Amino acid sequence: MTDSVPGIDYRFENPHLLRQALTHKSHGPVHYERLEFLGDSILNMVVSTRVFELHPQAPEGDLSRMRARIVRGRTLSEIASGIGLGRQLNLGPGEKRSGGFRRSSILADALEAVLGAIYIDGGYEACRAVILSLCDPLIENLPSADNLKDAKTRLQEWLQGRGRPLPEYTLVREEGADHAKSFHVECRLRDGDEVVGANGASRRKAEQVAAGKLLARLSGQFTEGRHD
């Protein structure tokens, strides 16, 4: 039974913990979900502390956005994929056939489970060292806090800074089967004729795309007007 994961500088005293952390619920009754819960909490703690230390002047909102960029599922799955974690997973036959070892949600959850297992096996400092070795390069190269804001937030702040009302988002239509829906949303200014439409795999994603398109249009108009 293996006592380590390639790409993670830690050897388990209790390899059974590692096996559990690498076992998806489709494989059997002893799986990684409880360890994932624990790992998620420790990951948030360590990353929060790190961004707090590196950005002593940043307000709470900026710190939250920086932490969210690191602990989100997409980032964790990229880390897990980078160390080849998918190849170590114990999956049930169905998940194997469907390529579960490549699925972002499974990779992210398994990485958190491994962190939880390291915490139980070796304690907080060992777990912290592993988290920082995986996350520090990303933390130190985060974009500016403004660039981490989503499009709806940036549009809202742009409008508020000019004393204008917030936009209206309207779901125009939904198309497609339940497993592959497409949402069409319009974003409209309440004090003007500006309106843009956008599609997305969810209503939220469509709203974000629409907000980004409208902000780009407004910013372009503002810049052109300023130089007239």
pLDDT of residue 65: 86
| Residue 175 marked ligand-binding | no
Q: What CATH number does the domain containing 193 carry?
A: 3.30.160.20
| Residue 109 marked ligand-binding | yes
Q: Are residues 130 and 171 in the same domain?
A: no
Confirm whether 140 is a catalytic residue.
no
Question: Full-prediction pTM beyond 0.85?
Answer: no
| Residues 6, 83 contacting (CB under 8 angstroms) | yes
| Residue 194 marked ligand-binding | no
Q: Are residues 134 and 194 in the same domain?
A: no
CA–CA gap between residue 40 and residue 81 (Å, rounded): 18
Q: Cβ atoms within 10 A of the Cβ of 226, count?
A: 7
Confirm whether 112 is a catalytic residue.
yes
Q: The dihedral of CA 128, 129, 134, 136: what is its sign?
A: positive
Q: How do residues 52-72 score in pLDDT, each as one tens digit? A: 999 999 889 889 989 998 999
**Is residue 228 predicted with pLDDT exceeding 80?**
no
pLDDT of residue 147: 67
CA–CA gap between residue 85 and residue 98 (Å, rounded): 17
| Residues 7, 82 contacting (CB under 8 angstroms) | yes
Please name which of 93, 95, 135 lies closest in space to residue 111, comparing C-alpha atoms.
135
Burial level of 81, CB count in 10 A (0-12/13-18/19+)?
middle
Number of structural domains, the chain?
A: 2
pLDDT of residue 146: 67
| Residues 164, 78 contacting (CB under 8 angstroms) | no
Q: Is residue 79 part of a domain?
A: yes
% of the chain at pLDDT higher than 90: 66
Q: Specify the DSSP element, H or E, that contains 172.
A: strand 168-175
Q: Is residue 46 part of a domain?
A: yes
Domain with 171 in it: 151-227
pLDDT of residue 98: 86
CA–CA gap between residue 13 and residue 6 (Å, rounded): 16
Which among 99, 122, 141 is the end of a domain? 141
Helix (H, G, I), strand (E, B) or coil at 98: coil
Q: Are residues 131 and 20 in the same domain?
A: yes
Q: How do residues 15-51 score in pLDDT, each as one tens digit? A: 999 999 999 999 989 999 999 999 999 999 999 999 9
Q: Is residue 1 part of a domain?
A: no
* DSSP state, residue 144: P
Of the listed 3, 9, 33, 40, which one is catalytic? 40
Of the listed 62, 78, 112, 186, which one is catalytic? 112
The rounded mean pLDDT for the chain is 90
Q: How do residues 169-197 score in pLDDT, each as one tens digit? A: 999 999 988 878 899 999 999 887 889 99
